[in-house]
Amino acid sequence: MADIENKNIIAESEDGQIILSLEFGDNQFSKFDRIVPTLQSGLLVFGDSILEIKDARTKIMGNSFVVHSENILIYAQGLENESYLVNSYLLGGNQLDPIKLVSVPIKQEEYSDIKDSSSSPELIVLIQQDIKTFWNDTYDIEIKVFDKSINPNPQFYQSLGAINQAEINVTLKDFEGNELTKLSGQTNSKGFWNDDYFVYQNLVSGGTYLVEVDVSYLESNNSQTLETFIISDTRDAKSSN
């Protein structure tokens, strides 16, 4: 049976360009007394790109084990000397070609370097907002945050490369710098955040407003400025989106 409790499994491709790092903790047991490995952290490093493996389900199958998260499926077949032949499949796209790896011994300081290299991903921030909003209606804004190294061309509906707990700060202001409102929060596990602002009749002047969006995660930052238009009228308010 695969013995991965409290072990670091490091696997790499033949050319050394792809490295998989899996750190396991104490085993848990199901209600049927089956061993359930606990994945504490995981990284797939390919070139300058890093995929963090989170919220994964794990399973032992004889001398092999499986790790399955939202964005990757890993099947590790046990070999001699506690080595593993690993097939990894990136999920979220149309292609399921395996990434073939073999586990190798690695020094602890090298393992630490791999973990530290994930500290500052380049961010891609996608924004959807109401272009115009009537009085007594709600201005809505939605944001998705991605790691560019994992998903360089993300679509709003995708989760591959999504960044959890990115800090979001949005400021609506007029062209003279007077703030209308501030919205803030964190992305969820799908890299998604949304909020809204109710535009009260006669309390907000009509016209074009700046929407300043600032997104930060670890040491990375992405800032954008958009425009939205408030209509000083209540006609057809429901059609403003």
Mean pLDDT, each 10-residue run in order, the chain (241 residues): 84 82 87 84 78 87 89 87 84 62 56 51 95 96 89 79 91 95 93 96 95 95 97 68 50
Domain boundary among 93, 116, 139: 116
Query: How distant, in Å, are the alpha carbons of 151, 154, 216 from that of 147?
Result: 6, 9, 12
In a domain, 149, yes or no: yes
Other CB atoms closer than 10 Å to residue 219's CB: what's the count? 8
Q: Whole-structure pTM over 0.85, yes or no? A: no
3-state secondary structure at position 31: coil
pLDDT at residue 106, as a whole number: 47
Clarify whether residues 208 and 172 are in a common domain: yes
Query: Has residue 1 been placed in a domain?
Result: no
Q: Does residue 61 form part of some domain?
A: yes
Asked if residue 206 is part of any domain, the answer here is yes
The residue among 26, 39, 152 whose CA lies nearest residue 93 is 152
| Domain-located, residue 2 | no
109 & 144 share domain = no
Residue 185 in any domain: the answer is yes
For 151-219, the three-class secondary structure string (H helix, E strand, C coil) is CCCCCCCCCCCECCCCEEEEEEECCCCCEEEEEEEECCCCCEEEEEEEECCCCCCCEEEEEEEEEEECC
Please give the Cα distance from 210 to 233 (Å, whole number).
Answer: 20
Tally of structural domains, the chain = 2
User: What does the pLDDT read at residue 95?
Assistant: 47
Decide if 140 is inside a domain. yes
Find the domain containing 75 and state its range: 8-116
The rounded distance, in Å, linking the Cα atoms of 10 and 19 is 7
Element (H, E) at 27: none
The answer to whether residue 62 is domain-embedded is yes
**Is residue 82 located within the same domain as residue 166?**
no
